[in-house]
Every structure is written in structure tokens, then in C-alpha cells.
Homo-oligomer: A and B are copies of this chain.
Amino acid sequence: MSAVAPVDLPEDPRERIAWILDRVREHDLDGLASVLGELHPSDLADVVEELDEDDRIFLLDLLPADLASETLAEMESEEHPEEILAALEPERIGELIAELSDDDAVELIRELPPEEQTRVLAALPNLEAGELRRLLQYDEESAGGIMTTELVAVSVHLTAGEAIEEVRRQAREIGGEFYTIFVVDLLRRLVGTVSIQDLVLAEPRTPLADLVEEPVAAVPVDMDQEEVGRIIARYNLPSVPVVGPDNVLLGRITWDDVIDVMELEQTEDILRLGGVVSEEEVRGGWLDAVRSRLPWLLLNLGTAAVAASVVWYFQDTIDRLVLLAAIMPVIAGMGGNAGTQALAVTVRRLALTEETTARRFRVAAKELVVGVVNGLALGAIAAVASALVGGDPTLGLVVFLAMIGNLVLASIAGALIPIILERLGADPAVASSIFVTTFTDVGGFFLLLGLASALLL
């Protein structure tokens, strides 16, 4: 960014946040007042997250209601806003919620425990509280859960001139960007959209019906938010209408909601691939982390025990050739790495593309070839090294065959397991990795030690 910040406020975001933090901790009212107009809610949210409770309240009480409420809306939800809200006066909370657009208000209220929700809704005007209660009914991860009802919609029975007046009036009311003008009939069923340029250029008496275009997409209110994101990204729509039964227009979802959804889903995918099972949020405490990670580790301990029992079954083989104990984790580990590679590629492909079944089979065939080729290369190196250390060419052959076998197993497991999980309706990013590494551990130990028993001893 350039040429935007005033003299005092550093331009680098991290320095800017540190600067504001210092002013707040010193309770430097003059310093803060001098930059108040330049503060952005996104920066303030980062500041609030680093403050202790007293300083938070000091800052949130100091800020004008619109800035304070936007700041709350920008805070990562994982930071327990209920603690912050609980410390504020109920009237102040009502004032802050009233400033927010309805989707942000709903998101904030959802974070509160039920009794707090009731308290906050009671502090709001009836009309607004009713609206928010209705929105709270929708599933948090559905189109209804992230939509806003604040939009610009005009009746198809107006003329172009009347429609422009109506658009102006509604646009003033919602404040922010409206992006798309929706056209509805008398029962508020979605008829289509009209571009602002067509409206302005048309002769004022033109019936709106002559200018209306079919919407590129409309999403049902119960569609999963991830699917909504895919549609907005696929068709480059700045806003998409949300419809209920009978195609009635209920709200809209805008591109910035989708960016939030994408960030969340991206976090989820990476955490799940890394074996962080569920609700450990990126900013959670150690207890959250243990709760989220330990079940996964316990599950892994179970599968590791299976792999260990394969080794234990071959204890005589190892007893006669201890070198196998050193080679064993190499074969299993290389399989695990190759399987993770195939898995990462497959998971991304599933997330990004709409594939036909024929294409999937071609991709699985590709992975098989990759497994064989990489297995040949790695097997050759490992075989030569093992044969030299062990002084036995047959040991080299055993290692060579075991490595190829395990890499083929890894490729197939990495390519097919996420596809099978998706078919079964599960998220392919969850649990795929535990299946893949179980296959490659058990397979690696079994192949190496089994081949060694058969060919060496």
C-alpha cells in the first residue's frame, strides 16, 4: 500500500498494529484520537485480539459504534467474542449489533451462548430482532447462513425510469455496494437481473421486462456454502441471489463472503490433511489443541500397533538379520511420502474440478505409472546401498522389490482413497492420510520382511 496512511501511522500492517497497541496500552487518548479516522476495522480486530480484557473494553468503548461493531465483525470467530461482549453493557451491545449488516450480526450472535443470544436480541428493536431470529434458523454453513437480506430488488412491472429511482432509494438504505440489481415479480419470485448500465441508457418509459436478463446462477437457501463459493468463483459473479421454495428471492451472497469461506475451507483442508481432526481453531489454546489432536493420534497409535505386530510376527527374520530393522522404516517411510504426494494432488483435483469418471480412471492409471517409475529409481538406490552394507546381493534384490511394491501400493492408495471417501459422502481431506499411511506402513513392513523370509533365510 502507498500514500494512504497519515504521517503518524506506520504503513506496514504489522508495525501499524504494534503502534496502535502501544497507544492503547498507554491509554493515550490524544494519540488515538488523532488517527481515529484512519483506522480500519481489520487492523483494529488484530489489535483487539492482542489486548488483555481491560484494554479491550477501553478501546471498544472509545471507538464510535460503527467502527467498534465492524471491528467485532472482522475478528476471527475463534477468539471467543462472547467474553468480549459479556464485558460490555447490554445497551452498548445492542448499539453495536444494530450498526452491522444482518449477515455480520448473525455471525456474531451465533458465537454467543444461548442465554447471551436472548439477552442481546432483547436489547434490539423488535423488527430487527425478528429478522435476525429468522436468519439464525438457517444452518450456519448453508447459503441461508451466510446470506444478507440487504439487497437491491425492483419489481418487473416498473419502467426503467421508475426502477432507477427505486434502485437509488434502496442503495442509499443498504449503504454498501449492491453489485447486482435483482428483478422480482409481485410475489417476490426472482425473474432475473438488470444491469445498471442498461437501466441508465434505456429510454425512461421502457418496461423493465424488456431489459431483464436471466440470472447466470441462483442458489437454493440450503446449498452448502462451499458449493456457493465454487459457483461464485466459477462464474465470476460479484453477488449471487439466494432463493427459497417457488424461487422466492430471500437474500444475496457477495464475493467477500466467498473469500471468507475459501479461507476457512482452505484452513480446514490443510489442518485435516495434517491430521488436526476438527474444531481446533488456529488461535485456540492448548486444551483445544489436545482435544482436537489427541483422538487422531490415538487412532494412529492403533494403526501403528497393527504395523508393529507385522514386525513382531517376523521377529525371527529380524533376529537373523538385524540390518532389516534399519531398512524397514526406510521402505515404509518412502511409501508414506509417495502416498502423501499422490493424496495431496488428488485432494486438490477433487476440490477444483468437475471430473467425469473416465477422467478419474485415467488419473489413477497415471498415479500407477508414477509409482512404478519412482519405485524403480528409489528401489535401485536403496538396493545398492543395502547390498553393500549387508554384503549380500540377494538383500539388494529384496529391498528393490519391496520398494517398488510399496510405492505402487502408495500411489494407488493415495489416488483412490480420497475418491472412494468422496463417493461415500465423506470429506476426502479427512482421514485419507491415516488410511494411506496405514497401507504403506503395513505394506512396507510386510513386503520387506516377507520377501526377506522367502528369499534370504
CB of A68 within 8 Å of the partner chain = no
Please name all residues of chain B whose beta carbon is closer than 8 Å to the beta carbon of A271 when the two chains form the complex.
344-345, 348
Please name all residues of chain B whose beta carbon is closer than 8 Å to the beta carbon of A373 when the two chains form the complex.
286, 290, 294
Q: A311-B329, A315-B322, A330-B308 are in contact. Are A354 and B238 (CB under 8 A)?
A: no
Question: In the complex the two chains form, what is the Cα distance from A259 to B260 in whole Å?
Answer: 11
Please name all residues of chain B whose beta carbon is closer than 8 Å to the beta carbon of A330 when the two chains form the complex.
301, 304-305, 307-308
Shortest CB distance A356–B (Å): 6
User: In the complex the two chains form, is A318's CB within 8 Å of B325's CB?
Assistant: yes
Please name all residues of chain B whose beta carbon is closer than 8 Å to the beta carbon of A337 when the two chains form the complex.
275, 296-297, 300
* Other-chain contact of A293, B332, B338, B382 (Cβ < 8 Å): B338
User: In the complex the two chains form, is B275's CB within 8 Å of A344's CB?
Assistant: yes
CB of A256 within 8 Å of the partner chain = yes
Tell me the A249-265 residues at the B interface (CB within 8 Å).
255-256, 258-259, 262-263
* Other-chain contact of A4, B217, B285, B315 (Cβ < 8 Å): B217
User: In the complex the two chains form, is B381's CB within 8 Å of A301's CB?
Assistant: yes
Please name all residues of chain B whose beta carbon is closer than 8 Å to the beta carbon of A323 when the two chains form the complex.
312, 315
Give the copy number: 2
Question: In the complex the two chains form, what is the Cα distance from A338 to B290 in whole Å?
Answer: 11
User: In the complex the two chains form, is A329's CB within 8 Å of B304's CB?
Assistant: yes
CB of A128 within 8 Å of the partner chain = no
User: In the complex the two chains form, is B50's CB within 8 Å of A359's CB?
Assistant: yes
User: In the complex the two chains form, is A286's CB within 8 Å of B234's CB?
Assistant: no
CB of A424 within 8 Å of the partner chain = no
User: In the complex the two chains form, is B214's CB within 8 Å of A4's CB?
Assistant: yes
Question: In the complex the two chains form, what is the Cα distance from A147 to B408 in whole Å?
Answer: 44
Q: A274-B273, A301-B334, A329-B304 are in contact. Are A352 and B218 (CB under 8 A)?
A: no
Shortest CB distance A342–B (Å): 8
Please name all residues of chain B whose beta carbon is closer than 8 Å to the beta carbon of A308 when the two chains form the complex.
326-327, 329-330
User: In the complex the two chains form, is A282's CB within 8 Å of B329's CB?
Assistant: no
- 8 A-B pairs whose Cβ atoms sit less than 8 Å apart in the complex: A3-B218, A4-B218, A262-B266, A273-B273, A275-B344, A290-B374, A311-B325, A318-B318
**Chain A residues close to B by CB (< 8 Å):** 1-4, 13-14, 17-18, 21, 40, 42, 46, 50, 76, 168, 171-172, 177, 179, 190, 197, 200-201, 214-220, 231-236, 238, 243, 247, 255-256, 258-259, 262-263, 266-267, 269-271, 273-276, 280, 282-283, 285-286, 289-290, 293-294, 296-298, 300-301, 304-305, 307-309, 311-312, 315, 318-319, 322-323, 325-330, 332-334, 337-338, 340-341, 343-345, 347-349, 352-356, 359, 366-367, 369-370, 373-374, 377-378, 381-382, 385, 389, 437, 441, 445
